Amino acid sequence: MELGDLLQQAQCFTNDTRMDEDMPRVDRTISQVLQATQELHSRVTLTGTHDLKAHMLLGSKGVDLPKLSHKLETLSARKTFEPLDPVSDTDVHAFLKNERENAILSVIDETNRGIFESVERHKWRRIYAEWGEEKESLLNALIGPKQNEFPDVRRQTVLTTLAETPMPSSRLNRTEELYAQEIASYNQSQIQRGHRSNLLAAFANLAAEKFDNQLVSEMWSVLQFMADNAPPSRTADAIKSRLATQKFVQQARTYLERRYKQYINTVIMENPLQAQRGGIPNVYSSVNSFVSINFAVPATLVGLLDVYNGLPLWALVYYSLRCGDLGAAVRYLKETGVCYDLYRLLSMMKEGTKGEQYSRIEGALKLEYNSKLRSCSDPYKKAVFAYVLACDPHNSHAELMRSIDDFLWMQLSILRQQDGREYNVEQLTYSGLQSLILEKYGENYFNAREKAPLYFSVLVLTGQFESAIEFLARTEDNRPHAVHMAIALNEIHMLGTPSSMHHPLISVNPEDPAPMKRLNLVRMLVTYAKCFEITNTSEALQYYFLLRHFKDDNGRSLMLSCVCDLLVENCDQQMIDLIFGNEDDDSGQTGIFAQFHTMDFDKYMLAGMVGDELTYRSNFETAIWLYFIGGQLDKVMRLVCSLLSQVVHQPPTESSMRTRLRQIIIHLEDLRSVQRVDVEPHVLATYTMLTQLLVFFDHYHKNESQQASEVLANFRITPNDCSEVEECVANLKSLCPEVTKVLPDILLAAMDLIYEEYTKIKENGGSRSSFDSRESTQTDDWKNENKEGILRHLRTKAKALTNMAVTVAYRMPTATNKRLVQLEILMH
């Protein structure tokens, strides 16, 4: 074929493959196709089949391998891990870039070094552990079967014999034991002498003398100082009485001022040469010496106004006020003659005289402060005016507030009562300060997790006892202190408690002003005592005694409820003897509860409560012994009837409930002989019937037919003939249902006795029946009646038992009816 023909045929094929689509058409000549083929062949032969397969694999996933290879070639690790090139000092951008990269490199290097060291430590630890195991195995292999022959082996004898009466170890640490001893002493003083000692002072002395913790001692000290103002009435609400008076504000200021005087004296003693203290030892001279030390350098006087004898006047006045001595401040102002109006106002504040003249001078000074002193360069002068005028609460006086005490003292000094506020001037109230400390600043501001005593003191000084104690109770170490602080405050009626013991530990009463909260002392104390009530029962009862005036939901003393719960949850004989004492013990020792004798409750009331709770929980046997202790024999009789009806028909076995009930009945009968029991007649009749049935079944199971028949005949519970069925059914109705429950077993036992007697007479030809004991008045002709008459009489009794089983208002078990009918039929 010629080339022209090939060209024409190729054009035809091209026209056939042309499609009506928007895709661009690629035209290649034969030479271009040949060139592309050669390039592809050379590429495949040079790179090999592996690169081809890689191209095909990555291409199927949408990856352009040539482009990816180009990107990888452009990557360089030189700028990341190689030393940086130095830059000139004037190139700030390069300098910052180098610093940033140096910081990154240092972190990477430090991390690598830490990882390497950690791996090294773990490696050697593992090596040493494996060496130790290998040495141990080698030594064990050397011992062999005869360990006595192994040389130089020291053996330590371990005591494995337990004590005769092992006791659990105490759950109280030293601090908790000291607190518990103080609580016991306090309770005994109330029980024996009838007066309350100062528990708060006792705890504060204990913390100062016995605890090796200065911070705990300081917490008790500030609480004792603030609680020195007892409420006017013990029936008044603690929260309302605390907020209704300014005594707590003044008390907090006095505490902070005393601490600052101690600080000033400490600084003076450490710098005696600079202080040059002399004259009368009072606040005036102490402040003069203290200011001399702080402003010994002339440069410290820059910006301060009214320098007096080389010392800043307003610093002298401020520190006099900071120490709580208005007289010293008035004296400084009088000596210098500066600001006569302020001198007169301070003099009136010292004398406590307020009136129209006081208000006029105060108003003039406020105008002066707002117009001039807000921009004053002397921070001491601004602080003095803010103190005297009780204004400008938003000025933090940052130059002078060197501690939390300084800040709190200033805030307490500028407080105004709610009813004495001037609503055209922005002023701070007591509730506002409390909200500022508790809510605005809060625990994070004071770093309360690490400085718990500091935050506690701030809350106490602002009158928020409940929030302070709740915060302290969150940590395990401070919880004992918090619990006893709450106890001490409650004993002097200064703790705000909720109306219900079911409230959470800290709660808010809508009637209380914000942000005051109430602390659930009951929940806190019970939770605390629950931890050691098993191992330290006596100490736990001492704490529960503090709750005797609280009432539970049923109106009972909360102390009785707590002890009742303790006994119900751990009601064994050892715990009962520990609480109530053992009556059979000749040593004369009484139980723990005997020392809490009051007119409101005694051990008999407690024993009855525990017995009722155990009865409710179906622990009847233990409840019976509690009722014995409580002297409630009527309840004992009821429970005995209930239990005896369940087991009276069973054969006697050792350690069974039936055997234990026999011991209870013997003890009950002994008490009935010396104590009158007030119980309903039908309960007494039921008890008497069941105790006799106990005797009946004892004879029945011992095959003593004669004695069993006599016991059954004496109580007329089963009929002798069909005419007595209605009488026996009427007797059952006068008794409690407990006897009716035993009736199927009674009828079966009676039928077995009749059938046994019937079989014996029929086989042996006897002439006397054991069921004839009630007919002792019959004539001798009846006793000598022939055999057929006796058998007929026994069949009549059996028929009467069957009739009674279907007559009595009790659904007999099917097996019982079947057995009764079967035995009756066997007698015919």
What is the chain's mean pLDDT, rounded? 81
Closest CA to 613 of 568, 558, 561, 554: 568
Average pLDDT for 216-234? 83
Instruction: Give the number of other CB atoms < 10 A from CB of residue 787.
Output: 13
Query: Where is pLDDT greater, at 173 or 53?
Result: 173
The percentage of the chain sitting over the pLDDT mark of 90, rounded to a whole number, equals: 16
Listed ranges 62-66, 359-363, 524-528; the one with the highest mean pLDDT: 524-528
Is 284 in the same domain as 351? Answer: yes
> Do 557 and 551 meet the contact criterion of CB atoms below 8 Å apart?
yes
Cα separation values, 178 from 128, 182, 192, 476, Å? 46, 6, 21, 17
Residue 519 pairs with which residues in a beta bridge?
506
In 286-422, the DSSP E strands lie at 307-308, 311-312
Dihedral sign computed on CA atoms, order 60, 64, 65, 71: negative
Is 784 in the same domain as 750? Answer: yes
DSSP summary character for residue 428: B
DSSP 446-482: HTTTT-HHHHHHHHHHTT-HHHHHHHHTTSTTTHHHH
pLDDT number for residue 153: 45
Is 364 in the same domain as 443? Answer: no
Distance of alpha carbon 633 from alpha carbon 112, whole angstroms: 82
Residue 428 pairs with which residues in a beta bridge?
415
Tell me the chain's radius of gyration from C-alpha atoms: 50
Instruction: Give the number of other CB atoms < 10 A from CB of residue 412.
Output: 22
- What amino acid is encoded at 576 in this protein? I
| Total domains present in the chain | 3
Answer yes or no: is 583 within a domain.
no
pLDDT over threshold 80, residue 799: yes
Note the pLDDT tens digit of each residue in 51-68. 666 667 777 766 776 777
Note the pLDDT tens digit of each residue in 640-658. 998 998 888 888 888 888 8
Closest CA to 325 of 263, 266, 261: 261
Closest CA to 316 of 287, 343, 338: 287
pLDDT level of residue 445 (50, 70, 90 thresholds): confident
pLDDT over threshold 70, residue 789: yes
Answer yes or no: is 309 within a domain.
yes
Q: Which of 416, 450, 485 is a domain's end point?
A: 416
Is 311 in the same domain as 180? Answer: no
pLDDT number for residue 413: 87
Is 183 in the same domain as 266? Answer: no
Answer yes or no: is 617 within a domain.
no
Range of 453's domain? 174-246+431-547
Please list, in sequence order, all residues whose beta carbon lies within 8 angstroms of the beta carbon of residue 394, skipping any fewer than 6 positions away. 426
pLDDT number for residue 147: 46
pLDDT over threshold 90, residue 366: no
pLDDT over threshold 60, residue 719: yes
Is 331 in the same domain as 470? Answer: no
Q: Are strands 307-308 and 518-519 parallel, antiparallel or unpaired?
A: unpaired
Residue with tokens 């039928």: 751
Is 385 in the same domain as 318? Answer: yes
Query: Where is pLDDT greater, at 350 or 787?
Result: 350
Is 694 in the same domain as 755? Answer: yes
Is 763 in the same domain as 813? Answer: yes
Answer yes or no: is 574 within a domain.
no
Answer yes or no: is 92 within a domain.
no
Answer yes or no: is 527 within a domain.
yes
Closest CA to 287 of 351, 253, 348, 332: 332
The C-alpha torsion from 273 through 276 and 281 to 283, rounded to 10°, is: -100
Dihedral sign computed on CA atoms, order 821, 825, 827, 828: positive
Is 712 in the same domain as 818? Answer: yes
Answer yes or no: is 587 within a domain.
no
- What amino acid is encoded at 771 in this protein? F
Is 242 in the same domain as 281? Answer: no
Is 350 in the same domain as 252? Answer: yes
> Do 307 and 287 meet the contact criterion of CB atoms below 8 Å apart?
no
pLDDT over threshold 90, residue 223: yes
Distance of alpha carbon 822 from alpha carbon 826, whole angstroms: 6
∠ CA 386-391-393, nearest 5°, is 95
Residue with tokens 């009945």: 665
Answer yes or no: is 346 within a domain.
yes
pLDDT over threshold 90, residue 519: yes
Q: Which of 416, 440, 461 is a domain's end point?
A: 416
Residue with tokens 């219900």: 500
**Tokens found for residue 777:** 């008045």
Q: Which of 487, 515, 547 is a domain's end point?
A: 547
